[in-house]
Structure 1
Amino acid sequence: MELKQGVFFHKSFISFDALKLEIPMLPNSIPANDKIEQQFSNKHEKLIDYKKLDSLAIHVLEAEMAYYRCQNIFDSELSKMWTNHRNLVKNQAMTTTLIRLLQKRLDNVSNRCRDVYNYRIDHFLQNSYDELDYSVTDNKEEALKRIGFSYSLIIDTTYLFKKQQLQLLSRGPIYVPICQTYISDSNQSMHDIVKKQFAPLNYQLAGLFSKHNIQFPLQTEFQQKIYQKFEELFSTPIPSSLNQRAYYERQLIQSIQNSLNKNNLILRRTANNMNTFYVGNMQDFEAKADKFMDRSEDYIVLFDLDEEFKQKPWYNSLNDMIESMNSSLEKLKTNISIKHNSYQQIVADPTKVKLPYLYFLPNISKDNTNILLVPFIATDYSVTWNIGKYLNQLLRPIVDNILRATTFYDEADFIRKLNHYANIEHRLRSTTVLCTITISNFYALDTHKNMLDVVDYFLTDNLASTKLEAPTIPTIRDLLYLFLHNNVFYYKNKIYAFTKGSPNTIPLTETLSNIYLFEWQKKILKEIDENIEFSGRYKDQIFFTWNKSSALELERFIEDFREKHRNVRFQKLIGTTVQFLNAYIENRQGQLFTRVHYDPNIPRYILPYVIRHAKSAISDWLRSALIRAVCYCTSADDFHQERIYLELTLLTSGYSLLFVETHVKHFFNYFHAETMRFWRNQKAYDKFRGQWFNFTQNREKLSKELENFDHHGGLFRLNYMYDFGPRFRFNREFHRLWCAYFQHHPILSEKNTKIMLTSQNVYSLNTLLAAPKSPHLNQP
């Protein structure tokens, strides 16, 4: 416990002298300048911190196991003593006075240990963010014992932030500064705050009731009841301590904003969907972005806003595009190719359409000193938003059903099936070669014409014997044509269109890519004997085994295939060891060995980037990560080490030891396997692992049932803004009232409907400091 608390406070009583970490000199081959030297220094500092945590992870695991062994010995001896006493064993019974003395001594020892523990934790708390200069020679030992807090921050600038600023930025983009809603406007009352937080839920309920023709009196009564309960629970003023912290963090955020603006710096979350900030020079960042756009073959400039339009303004051209698309939809409705209600869903309203805009996020997964940029497009309420949503709801269930046999549902599904192939069916041979393929242009695989042809062929080939309800396959092609050819976006005073693919932020894009790769991968898999091999795909990654010939011949086959289909760009990995979906997979002479894989270029102790309510999302992530660990790790030792890595990740990110312990205990207690946490018995672990394999299979079935509800319009997602208060209690009250009011409704009853009520944080560091701003374009 004490070791873990030390990590939480970025301190440790363990000496790291054995690491022998010397500050390296900058190589002579690299031209020296302030920025390069600062990058080199930052990278080395992180390396030191990671090595310290790796060392701590080993110490923590050894300490846990040692404590458990001693506790077992003590419990066994104590039990034996009491048994002998109760059974009046000769020469081993004890007087009442002696028993009382022993009990008193045990209590004193326990109290003493507790006092020492509390004293040390108090020391950690008082000195966790001290101002000592650990660069002084006399304090080298203290410097080694200190654990850094820069895991979630990549610094690519010579500017030196203040220590307090670094502490806040190191919490990462998902960190939610506490109670900012309550201090954002000093003039607002508690009633105003609660009303603002309830507004999204109230709006969603009104739309839901209107859609299902709920009588207005019933609708009004229910919404009033919900609001009364919401106001009752969330009208409590925040404690003074939280109020002080809220103002302190707001001032700190403002100081960071001033530093960024004054020094021409840019702050962005990283593109690898991890809880990491990147801070660099604005001019350098934009130069890389401009270079990317100049070289990209996926976009084409429609018109330049810097040039005064000689014919008509840009917004007139956009309105012409909307009118043309709506006219085509009108013709489809007139020809009864689409129904009237479908037409109402997909037609674009010019007054509500927003022009999508492109922004870039840095990708630092390969080299921390040489960032690459990844484009993203904000597409909410774009010209094609409605039609894309409609087509995805139509196609996704069909596509998922057809692709089910050749795709993995998730990480757990993959490793469970691989384990079945190797250890249940015993089809993994000592000569079996493993191969993975990673698609690098997943969202821009081919031209629009070729994409339409592939989708047309896919639907015709798989649905020819099935009567498809309206719209027909030709109508779907027409709608897809409108979707693909009307995706435009804004970037630096230019309007662009896509030549390949479509925005990666629209779900339909992934569905179309899945269709295309299904047809593409069939040409590879036809060379594979399904009775011998194991294969499948998850999004942009493919895994398969190969027994047909040697690894060299497999490589020749894949390279020949690459030459014939050059539009799909990919990297391959062939051998007895590969990595797939964050799993390290090894064929050890016909025996399958797996564990969690970490890219050496990506920091290990980093949380994922999550949205909605951060703490709730991280809670879900920890449970999933523990399940992934037990499914991936064939060795009990590897599993326990991975569990410690996860615990330290949360502690270094500011999550309390109570939070971590509660979730870890719940994980082991789920199958009543409390002792497995401190037990390295491989046979017992294999049984425990098998239970989780069965659990993931059942969880997948439940997830598919939920998806089925969603496809049939029975899943309703509702949310409200949250900053402080008893959200769990409100959620329970909401579901209780819903059941009471709609238990007999043909659609909204608990039997026919799934309500997902979630809370969403209003402010995170990403939204306050790093979120790309929507461009302001001049239009009437």
Structure 2
Amino acid sequence: MLIKGLKYIPPCQSRFSRQSIDAIVNEQYTTLRPNIQGCLDDHRMQLIEPREKEGFPSLKRMLYELQSKKLPRKLRIRARRERKVVQSILKILHNRPDIIIRRTDKSKVFYIGNATVFTEKASKYMLETEAYREISNEHCILSENHHLVISLLGSLLKNGAINQEQYRQISPSKNRSELAHLHFIPKPHKPDTPLRPIVAAIHAPATQLSKFLNDLLAPVFLRVARETTFINGIDLVRILEKYVIDKQLKPTTLFVSFDVENLYTMIPRQGALIALIEFLERYLPNKRIGTFSINDIVRMARLVLDTNVFVYENKYFRQIRGGAMGSAFTQTLANIYMFEWEQDLLQIQQANKEIYGRYIDDVFMTTNVPFAQIKDILERANKKDPNIRISYCIQSKIDFLDVTVTNDNGHLTTSIFHKSATEPYILPYTSDHPRHVYNNIPYAALLRAARICSNVDDFEMERVRIDLSLLLNEYPPSFISKHFIRFFEMNNATSVLNGLNTEAYHALHQKLLHQPTRREKQMQANGEDINPIPDVLKKKKPWDPNVMYAKYNYESGPRSAFQHKFRTWWKTHFGHEASSVEHVHIKFAVKTNRTLEDAFVNKRPPRHMLLRKPTNVLPPPESTRNTT
């Protein structure tokens, strides 16, 4: 069962629920009815005809029928078998506190290890980074943090930086607020399996403020640093192929990669805020982003950092260095700090017409200087800032992100890099996801392969690998074949499938590699404006009364027919010809059942710990004061 991975959903979970069928149906009905009623009200539809009056009772009967109808025999047997396996694993985990189970970093597979060793590694990390301070006294820090956020938002509302709608969106809910909690995830792709700290703060008072601040600043940073920022491995391949066209690749060209150790945790808090101020002053033409002054932005940033309090191992801590992994704003702040740090390296690379690009804490460079010289440059960079420590690699063949880059005597090849310690993951075909989820998996895998692999032989090897992975995850051969053919036909490249035609593959590779993604199209549109307004500040599109969202829980068996049944029900009772809602378009918002990760990975402290309210002995945060 564990080999099925984190995202696997065992089938038909509602059939084993402690809730009665009536309770399950009432819950579904209560979720659906408000949106339906809202749609009818928007179109001022009065329920006059008998079929219209019968609409809602008929909906409830339909839901009851789908829930109570007997499962097909094979599905019923499989559902029972998988439930027993899940229950037996849960029993083992309950009886074996020495076993710890976690998701792994950068993959969707499980890690099972010794709980004592895991805890020792976590304690060592906290000790060595000196980023966390235990809180020992007992004042109401949760309420204090809540008050600090509300006070700052009130100040921003008063000075016109935010409006009433934004105030409501960013304000924390007093009833739902709770402290964050810290957990660690293992990185098996690195020696000795180090740990990465994650602060889970979904209901922490400053979480929505952190997200808002990230949405405000991230587009600005990306616009400024786009030429030296890698979005993904495909971005790297594009830049490398241009490097070849520009005749910069020589037989002696070397590739360099390095990563920054514990970037999010190790950046100095005050230094990061200074870097943020300098960045904004340098790159904001009007010293504002929309309605926000630099002072407003820095006050928000300081508050997000100052309110980072969490629970770990039944104790309370405050992060006093860096930012929290898991906080939306932390990545943008780290990017801005690194942007300042990397300027010396960037100038060297630009002077030599070499590549320099960064993906958060991973950097890729090309060089045509002697090995000793580039090593000396990197060593000097490593001593520039005591908070930034890098480990580097200099070779003619190198792995970066998900790409293997090779200089074969002046000839560039790129292919997909598979980390030896990281298991590849494809969602098993038997997982209880809606069927449309699976339709795009083969296409997306082939699309990625065609974009990254520079020659047809590497692409063919990757195609075979995808084929085998799909088969091992119980995808029917006919399904695989159908979607493989669909990929090649849609891209006019059947000769690649049938005969590995080199010229045809090169054309396919170039076409797909340079095909802009939706995100890139948006970035290009924003790039035309010198000082564009981030999406988070733009007025939301008004509610479209001609679109109705139907929320429902997907499950295999009779309930998988919900969409078809719902459309028929709607057409029969309300959306019939000449009715005021005849042209309403139905969109389905699908919710799925619990995954194996939900079932097996228990990292959340008891709720009473998250609601208990200590305070730090440190002086009150300065985030509500003016800083510039």
How high is the TM-score relative to the length of structure 2? 0.81
Shift of 1:430: 2.6
Cα RMSD after superposing both structures: 4.1
1:670 to 466, 490, 497: 490
Matched, 1:762 2:593: yes
Match of 1:598 in 2: 418
Tell me if structure 2 keeps the 8 A contact 1:269–1:275: no
Question: How is 1:122-271 mapped onto 2 (pairs within 5 angstroms)?
Answer: 168-185=1-18, 187-189=20-22, 192-197=23-28, 232=62, 235-236=65-66, 237=69, 238-271=71-104
Match of 2:285 in 1: 464
Unmatched segments (≥5 aa) in structure 1: 1-167, 304-308, 742-748
Q: Quote the Cα distance in structure 2 between the aligned partners of 1:672 and 1:693.
A: 15
SS in 1 for 2:366: strand
Match of 1:118 in 2: none
Deviations 1:687-737 (A, max 9, x none): 22222224x325554565899877744599996432130467589899999
Matched, 1:384 2:206: yes
Q: Quote the Cα distance in structure 1 between the aligned partners of 2:310 and 2:357.
A: 35
Matched, 1:413 2:413: no
Summarize the Cα distance change of 1:539–1:663 in structure 2 as closer, same or farther, 3 Å threshold: farther
Question: How is 1:335-484 mapped onto 2 (pairs within 5 angstroms)?
Answer: 335-336=159-160, 338-366=162-190, 370-422=192-244, 424-465=245-286, 468-484=289-305
Tell me if structure 2 keeps the 8 A contact 1:376–1:504: yes
Question: How is 1:355-754 mapped onto 2 (pairs within 5 angstroms)?
Answer: 355-366=179-190, 370-422=192-244, 424-465=245-286, 468-529=289-350, 532-547=353-368, 549-603=369-423, 605-607=424-426, 613=433, 620-694=440-514, 696-697=515-516, 699-702=518-521, 704=523, 712=538, 713-714=540-541, 720-724=552-556, 725-726=560-561, 729=564
Question: How is 1:11-160 mapped onto 2 (pairs within 5 angstroms)?
Answer: none
Tell me if structure 2 keeps the 8 A contact 1:443–1:501: yes
Shift of 1:453: 0.8
SS in 2 for 1:564: coil
Q: Quote the Cα distance in structure 1 between the aligned partners of 2:89 and 2:167.
A: 48
% identical aligned pairs: 26
Shift of 1:686: 1.1
Unmatched segments (≥5 aa) in structure 2: 527-533, 544-548, 577-583, 613-628
Tell me if structure 1 keeps the 8 A contact 2:216–2:536: no
Q: Quote the Cα distance in structure 1 between the aligned partners of 2:124 and 2:46.
A: 54
Deviations 1:60-112 (A, max 9, x none): xxxxxxxxxxxxxxxxxxxxxxxxxxxxxxxxxxxxxxxxxxxxxxxxxxxxx
Q: Quote the Cα distance in structure 2 between the aligned partners of 1:625 and 1:465.
A: 44
Q: Which has the higher contact order (CA 8 A, sep 6+)?
A: 2
Q: Quote the Cα distance in structure 2 between the aligned partners of 1:512 and 1:732.
A: 47
Match of 1:272 in 2: 105
Tell me if structure 2 keeps the 8 A contact 1:357–1:775: no
Shift of 1:364: 2.0
SS in 1 for 2:325: coil
Tell me if structure 2 keeps the 8 A contact 1:438–1:542: yes
Q: Quote the Cα distance in structure 2 between the aligned partners of 1:529 and 1:562.
A: 19
Tell me if structure 1 keeps the 8 A contact 2:103–2:601: no
Q: Quote the Cα distance in structure 2 between the aligned partners of 1:460 and 1:687.
A: 45
Shift of 1:394: 1.9
Summarize the Cα distance change of 1:385–1:467 in structure 2 as closer, same or farther, 3 Å threshold: closer
Shift of 1:487: 1.2
SS in 2 for 1:777: helix
Q: Quote the Cα distance in structure 2 between the aligned partners of 1:227 and 1:455.
A: 58
Deviations 1:334-375 (A, max 9, x none): 4555444443333333322121111222332235xx543322
Match of 2:144 in 1: 320
Summarize the Cα distance change of 1:197–1:773 in structure 2 as closer, same or farther, 3 Å threshold: farther
Tell me if structure 2 keeps the 8 A contact 1:270–1:363: no
SS in 1 for 2:292: coil
1:776 to 590, 607, 619: 607
Match of 1:89 in 2: none
Q: Quote the Cα distance in structure 2 between the aligned partners of 1:445 and 1:556.
A: 24
SS in 2 for 1:431: coil
SS in 1 for 2:349: coil
Q: Alignment length, in residue pairs?
A: 580
1:296 to 129, 134, 147: 129
Q: Which moved more, 1:225-234 or 1:375-384?
A: 225-234
Q: Quote the Cα distance in structure 1 between the aligned partners of 2:275 and 2:243.
A: 32
Q: Quote the Cα distance in structure 1 between the aligned partners of 2:60 and 2:485.
A: 32
SS in 2 for 1:523: helix
Summarize the Cα distance change of 1:341–1:524 in structure 2 as closer, same or farther, 3 Å threshold: same
Shift of 1:440: 2.8
Q: Quote the Cα distance in structure 1 between the aligned partners of 2:301 and 2:432.
A: 31
Match of 2:580 in 1: none
Summarize the Cα distance change of 1:320–1:564 in structure 2 as closer, same or farther, 3 Å threshold: same
SS in 1 for 2:175: coil
Summarize the Cα distance change of 1:593–1:220 in structure 2 as closer, same or farther, 3 Å threshold: farther
Deviations 1:20-71 (A, max 9, x none): xxxxxxxxxxxxxxxxxxxxxxxxxxxxxxxxxxxxxxxxxxxxxxxxxxxx
Q: Quote the Cα distance in structure 2 between the aligned partners of 1:472 and 1:777.
A: 39
Tell me if structure 2 keeps the 8 A contact 1:452–1:477: yes
Shift of 1:463: 0.6
Tell me if structure 2 keeps the 8 A contact 1:194–1:235: no
Summarize the Cα distance change of 1:193–1:349 in structure 2 as closer, same or farther, 3 Å threshold: closer
Q: Quote the Cα distance in structure 2 between the aligned partners of 1:706 and 1:617.
A: 30
Shift of 1:261: 1.7
Deviations 1:173-200 (A, max 9, x none): 22211111232136224xx435545766
Tell me if structure 2 keeps the 8 A contact 1:503–1:509: yes
Shift of 1:290: 3.4
Q: Quote the Cα distance in structure 2 between the aligned partners of 1:502 and 1:734.
A: 51
Summarize the Cα distance change of 1:494–1:448 in structure 2 as closer, same or farther, 3 Å threshold: same
Q: Quote the Cα distance in structure 2 between the aligned partners of 1:225 and 1:426.
A: 70
Summarize the Cα distance change of 1:563–1:509 in structure 2 as closer, same or farther, 3 Å threshold: same
Of Structure 1 and Structure 2, which has the larger fraction of its residues in helix?
Answer: 1
Shift of 1:543: 1.7
Shift of 1:418: 1.8
Q: Quote the Cα distance in structure 2 between the aligned partners of 1:609 and 1:507.
A: 30
SS in 1 for 2:419: coil
Summarize the Cα distance change of 1:682–1:447 in structure 2 as closer, same or farther, 3 Å threshold: same
Q: Which amino acid aligns with 2:413?
A: F
Tell me if structure 1 keeps the 8 A contact 2:180–2:199: yes
Summarize the Cα distance change of 1:317–1:228 in structure 2 as closer, same or farther, 3 Å threshold: same
Q: Quote the Cα distance in structure 2 between the aligned partners of 1:736 and 1:215.
A: 18
Shift of 1:265: 4.6
Deviations 1:150-195 (A, max 9, x none): xxxxxxxxxxxxxxxxxx2221222211111232136224xx4355
